[in-house]
Structure 1
Amino acid sequence: MFGFGQDIGIDLGTASVLVYLQGKGIVLREPSVVALDRDSGQIFAVGEEARRMLGRTPGNIIALRPLRDGVIADYDSTEKMLRYFIDKACGRQGFLRPRVMVCIPSGVTGVEERAVRQAALQAGAKQAFVIEEPLAAALGAGLDIAEPSGSMVVDIGGGTTDIAVLSLGGIVCSNSLRVAGDKMDEAIVRYIRREHNLMIGERSAEELKMKIGTVHRSVGEGESMDIRGRDLVTGLPKTVNITSLEIFTALQEPVQQIVGAVKEVLEQTPPELAADLVNKGIVMTGGGSLIRGIDVLLSEETGLPVYIADDPISCVALGTGKALTMLGVLKQSNPSEGRRPVLKR
């Protein structure tokens, strides 16, 4: 058996990676970006240092995000990034290799699930388990999902939005939408290119979204911010003032897709559990839940109370850590294939 603190929970997100070390809590929170030497394939930088290089690297260095839409897009880079984060979180422990719990979106295929588990094993894990994001988010948000009562979680991350109704320690109905923070950034880039003939990067779009972004007219109206980019007409650098109303307009398409997915899950919910949700409402987690007005909008659209978790960004990572402490009461949904935990009743 391992010594204390050797179990690791990883929120392997499209935008950022959070690492939970048993006994210490969240010890690492870094962007999921890797900078590689184009010729040798060697790691040049990982995490925050690599993120600063996005769009700014010379020809021999490539900065990339190895995860797209919540799943592995570049296996080798993901493995190298995971190894770096595991080593950084718990240090070189000699022969002691940790058990690792990694979260996955609820809609992944068996191939995508195996890729995540295999990457964790190759990165140095003794055992690799996976847990669905809505289940981890609910555990991290402190919801009592073991009771025969309905709870609903909406987790808006960087690559995916996971929506689930949970009861008796399992997922009753769910939807995983590959529309989340990244698609919102892309929508802002398209809007500014179309309306202002200005090309901006995804980092600048994310900054706009975080500082003046709103998805409800009553929240954050009247704010503005200067953004710099390349003028598509002259080809020269240019500064444009963008208002919160423009960001509201730009975000309509991805946000309405998320609202539509939430309504679909509610339509699939058994009536007894739907009755529970009238009082308990919807709990929101993930970085996307911090966009101003999204709780107000969801509440208006569904007629249910909507609450944002205390630390929405950390919920999934905290949930993976809690799941590791419950391995004794977890059963495997498919023992022959491996390791997607479902809480026992």
Structure 2
Amino acid sequence: MIRKLSALFGGQSLAMDLGTANILLAVPGKGIVANEPSVIAIDSYTDKVISVGSEAKAFIGRAPERIQVLRPIRNGVIAHYDAARQMIAHFVRETSRKLNMRKPRLVICVPMGVTPVEKRAVIEAGMEGGARQVDLIIEPLAAAIGAGLPIQEPLGSMVLDIGGGTSEVAVISLSAIAFAESVRVAGDAMNVAIQRYFQDKRQLLIGEIMADTAKIEVGAAVPQEETRTMLVYGKNLVDGAPSSVTAEDADIREAIREPLSAIVEAVKNALERTSPSLSADIFDNGLLLAGGGSMLAGLEDLISNQCGISVIRDNDPLTTVVRGTAKVLEADGALDHVLLDR
């Protein structure tokens, strides 16, 4: 009833993908309107917010002791309640101001297994940002809708959403999740593995952003036709001096072997525990890859080879989830049954 009344008294709405690495916002019919890192910088003396998003991310590893640079969303859940509340409210408030929106309806994507306390925290943050109503949707469902999968049909669809903090694999049929599994291994775990590799193998201490850059620039899940290289900068562990080494795609592949194995095992486990009828559907239709972590080169080949199913990466995997959330809003209530109970 509340959702129906909200639709009657105002058509402005926002979709938000609350990710560990990035927050994306979309307006139904207009597309993506914001894509910012999930980072906030706070003055620890005054508790005042200094910056949010890209500006705050630039502070990582460079901020003085007084400034706390936080990533409030960790492993797909809220790790720092107050900072998360301030960050979500900031993005909703600023986006509404720029687009001249007044009290929009807001639908936010959340990971599977979100607790009642976490749901309440997200909803309160959205309301604080000026939303008239806040609803939640599970990320794999939003990804399936964003990719145009036939989720409302009696047909099995499989989605693997790899974000910054979690990898979530779900089998969906008749607008519901038939089986799902979440592992706290995703883009961030790959970055940590890359940092550890260069520390152990190359005696080079590198930062989080450098590790992420190496993963994006030369990383690959399987050997590529051409060797890719780049200079990786950091601090020499022997003498403490600034230094650099040349990294190849083989280095990154070795570094992230364990995180990738954990993700593949989650897919295998989901396939083993799926009913025969839905398994047949998945064999025919394949698995959809979504999320920023799925953009690693060759990942679809690795999963296909080890799991024996076809794998398709969405055309724009970073925005799949938020596009699906926007489609729920565009449906004028026809897809509200996929939203979480508040």
**Does the alignment reach a TM-score above 0.5?**
yes
CA distance in 2, matches of 1:24, 1:162: 28
Among 249, 270, 286, the alignment partner of 2:291 is 286
- Of 196-205 and 112-121, more deviation after overlay is shown by 112-121
C-alpha distance 211-332 of structure 1, shift in aligned 2 (>3 A): closer
1:159 aligns with 2:165: yes
What SS is found at the alignment partner of 2:158?
A: strand
One-letter amino acid of the structure 2 residue matched with residue 170 of structure 1: A
Find runs of 4+ consecutive structure 1 residues off by over 4 angstroms. Answer: 92-95, 332-335
Post-superposition Cα deviations, 1:167-190, rounded to whole Å, max 9, x if no partner, equal 111111011111100000000001
Contact 2:156 2:172 in 1 (8 A): yes
The residue aligned with 1:302 is 307
How many Å apart are 1:302 and its aligned residue? 1.2
Which of 240, 244, 268 aligns to 1:239? It is: 244
- TM-superposed deviation, 1:166: 0.6
Judged with a 3 Å threshold, the aligned counterparts in structure 2 of structure 1 residues 131 and 220 are, in CA distance, closer, same or farther, namely farther
Q: Distance in 2 between matches of 1:310 and 1:146?
A: 22
Q: Which runs of 5+ in 1 are unaligned?
A: 339-345
Match of 2:203 in 1: 197
State how 1:1-345 maps to structure 2 within 5 Å.
Answer: 1-4=8-11, 6-91=12-97, 96-217=102-223, 219=224, 222-326=227-331, 328-329=333-334, 330-331=336-337, 335=341, 338=342
- 1:331 aligns to what SS in structure 2? helix
Aligned-residue identity in percent: 43
Tell me if the contact between 2:15 and 2:322 (Cα under 8 Å) persists in the aligned partners: yes
d(CA) in 2 for partners of 1:224 and 1:285? 26
RMSD of the alignment, in Å? Answer: 1.8
Distance 1:173 1:114 in 2: 25
Distance in 2 (CA, whole Å) between partners of 1:326 and 1:267 is 34
TM-score (norm 1): 0.92
Aligned residue pairs, count: 334
Amino acid at match of 1:261: A
The answer for unaligned runs of 5 or more in structure 2 is: 1-7
Residues 91-147 of structure 1 deviation map (CA, whole Å, 9 limit, x = unaligned): 179993121111111132333233222322233222111110000000111111111
Checking the alignment, whether the CA contact within 8 Å between 1:220 and 1:244 is kept in structure 2 is no
Alpha-carbon distance change, 254 to 220 in structure 1, aligned in 2, over 3 angstroms: farther
TM-score (norm 2): 0.93
Partners of 2:70 and 2:340 in 1: how far apart? 34
